[in-house]
Amino acid sequence: MDRLNLGRQLKLWCFTQLCRLFGSTAVHLVLEAIEVYGVRKYLGLWNDYKDQPLGEALKGILQDEFKHEDILVTKLTERKINPEKIRNIFLGLNDGLWRFLAR
């Protein structure tokens, strides 16, 4: 498979546009979501194979993922995401969407 299916292309486009629109804060949030998703997948696999040789390899991968998670969380706390700004952005987008649809 050389290409992403249509759903994945749309998802990638949306993430790219969000990151362009909201800058580094959005990039950090997207990376955080990717890390959490990866950890969840590896935890599920480790739970299935923990008593087998593959379990030890998965344990090493999980440790690496937790290190990456720690780095990202540290970076996010350094930036201090302002929830008030995020709320205002979404309320503004919501208001704009309703005005657009009300035409």
Write down the pTM of the prediction: 0.54
Over residues 84-101, the pLDDT tens digits come to: 777 777 777 777 767 767
The CA-to-CA distance between both ends of the chain, in Å, stands at: 43
Q: Which amino acid is at 38?
A: G
* Cβ neighbours of 28 (radius 10 Å): 19
Nearest to 89 by CA among 41, 8, 29: 29
pLDDT higher for 6 or 77?
A: 6
The residues spanned by each domain of the chain are 26-101
Confidence class for position 5, pLDDT limits 50, 70, 90 = very high
* Cβ neighbours of 39 (radius 10 Å): 16
- Listed in sequence order, the residues at least 6 apart from 72 whose beta carbon sits closer than 8 Å to its beta carbon are 28, 31, 32, 35
